[in-house]
Amino acid sequence: MGEQTQASARVATPRDGVEGGAPPVIDAAFARWLAERAGQELLRVRAEMGHADGKALKKAGDKAAHDLLRAELARWRPADAVLSEEDEHAQVVWREGEPDMVRPDRLSASRVWIVDPLDGTREFSEEGRTDWAVHVALWTADACKSHASCLAAGAVAMPARHRTIATDNPPAYPPMPLESATGGAIRIAASRTRPPAFVTALAEELGAELVPMGSAGVKIAAVISGEADAYVHAGGQFEWDSAAPVAVALATGLHASRIDGSPLSYNQADPKLPDLVVCRKDLAPRLLAAISKHLPPQ
Ligand SMILES: Nc1ncnc2c1ncn2[C@@H]1O[C@H](COP(=O)(O)O)[C@@H](OP(=O)(O)O)[C@H]1O
Ligand SMILES: [Mg+2]
């Protein structure tokens, strides 16, 4: 990730120290700090409410994490725009083929935080599951000069796994596992509940093993750690589901694209970003060629 802009960061005052310390000024470190703060808040909500009412727990978690992210961004990055899953106008309503929306500020902003306060909401509500995350990404007009994704920073906190990945200290590129190196089964991470329609056929064709898990962030983290060789998704998703983990994957040197191989673009008028593939670079040509057989003809 090239520049770590700090143009709109608020200057810390002595009072900030009294309230628990000012966060980092560098954006990538700030993203990590923010994602971890929201993650701790989610752990607190989960511990306080328990799992008896899953629906109420999901709602409370979404709200608590969203409110925290919104408040800290307003406080520490007041000039920046925000796109959050939990915002009322985040999702575009289509009328007669046209997006029915008030043109949001973020489309003319030079810095936009793209956040998913709770990714893997379903898993968060299930007792014992750790596959859920907080996503904090920063899109900047400056970053567009060097990356098609325009992502300048990103952090994915996985508090129930005691793990955060972020662009301030990008994880090492995953080593090629022996299975892949010797032609054995590759492992493809996919949604537990809404996997792509073609993924079973794809796995059969590639002799691959499917690894179901929750949260796009956790699945991309699994590719980064080498627990999975690839993450393939299609059929629906939004920018906030992938921006932060894709920022980290790209900073790590991994391949991340749409399933037709085109770049992932963020801060678009319509935040729908329905498919993606993240994998090691050596695997990308083979995986994209196999997926292309399942795409509608152009
Ligand atoms: N078909 C679909 N349409 C819209 N969103 C989808 C989707 N499939 C997955 N997602 C979203 O992508 C994220 C990861 O999904 P999964 O855990 O199934 O892999 C989840 O985000 P949230 O938990 O933030 O809602 C989920 O809602
Ligand atoms: Mg999500």
Protein residue whose Cα sits closest to atom 18 of ligand 1: 191
The pLDDT value given to residue 296:
84
- How far is Cα 175 from Cα 117, in angstroms, rounded to an integer? 30
In the structure, what pLDDT confidence band is assigned to residue 2 with cuts at 50, 70 and 90?
very low
Residue 7 pLDDT more than 50? no
List residues near ligand 1 (CB under 6 A).
85, 116, 119-121, 191-194, 214-216, 235-237, 241
pTM, entire model: 0.92
pLDDT digits (tens, 9 = 90+) for 207-240: 999 999 999 999 999 999 999 999 999 999 999 9
pLDDT digits (tens, 9 = 90+) for 260-286: 999 999 999 889 999 999 999 999 999
The pLDDT value given to residue 14:
45
Compute CA 274 distance to the chain's CA centroid, rounded to the nearest angstrom. 13
Q: Which atom of ligand 1 is nearest to the CA of 216?
A: 14
Q: Which atom of ligand 1 is nearest to the CA of 85?
A: 24
Considering every ligand atom shown, identify the ligand nearest to the alpha carbon of residue 190 and give its number.
Answer: 1
When pLDDT is averaged across residues 94-100 and rounded to a whole number, the result is 66
- How do the domains of the chain map onto residue ranges? 14-166, 178-292
pLDDT digits (tens, 9 = 90+) for 34-84: 999 999 999 999 999 999 999 999 999 999 999 999 999 999 999 999 999
Protein residue whose Cα sits closest to atom 24 of ligand 1: 119
Protein residue whose Cα sits closest to atom 1 of ligand 1: 236
Q: Which atom of ligand 1 is nearest to the CA of 122?
A: 23
Q: Which atom of ligand 1 is nearest to the CA of 116?
A: 24
The pLDDT value given to residue 11:
54
The tokens 């729908």 sit on which residue? 272
pLDDT digits (tens, 9 = 90+) for 131-184: 999 999 999 999 999 999 999 999 999 999 999 999 999 999 998 777 777 777
The more confidently predicted of residues 298 and 67 is 67
> CATH 3.90.1150.10: does it fit domain 14-166?
no
**SS3 annotation, the chain:** CCCCCCCCCCCCCHHHHHCCCCCCCCHHHHHHHHHHHHHHHHHHHHHHHCCCCHHHHHHHHHHHHHHHHHHHHHHHCCCCEEEECCCCCCCCEEECCEEECCCCHHHCCCEEEEEEEEECHHHHCCCCCCCCEEEEEEEECCHHHCCCCCEEEEEEEEHHHCEEEECCCCCCCCCCCHHHHCCCCCEEEEECCCCCCCHHHHHHHHCCEEEEECCHHHHHHHHHHCCCCEEEECCCCEHHHHHHHHHHHHHHCCEEECCCCCCCCCCCCCCECCCEEEECCCCHHHHHHHHHCCCCCC
- How far does the centroid of ligand 1 lie from the alpha carbon of residue 133, in Å? 12
Protein residue whose Cα sits closest to atom 7 of ligand 1: 236
The pLDDT value given to residue 104:
73
| Domain 178-292: top CATH class | alpha beta
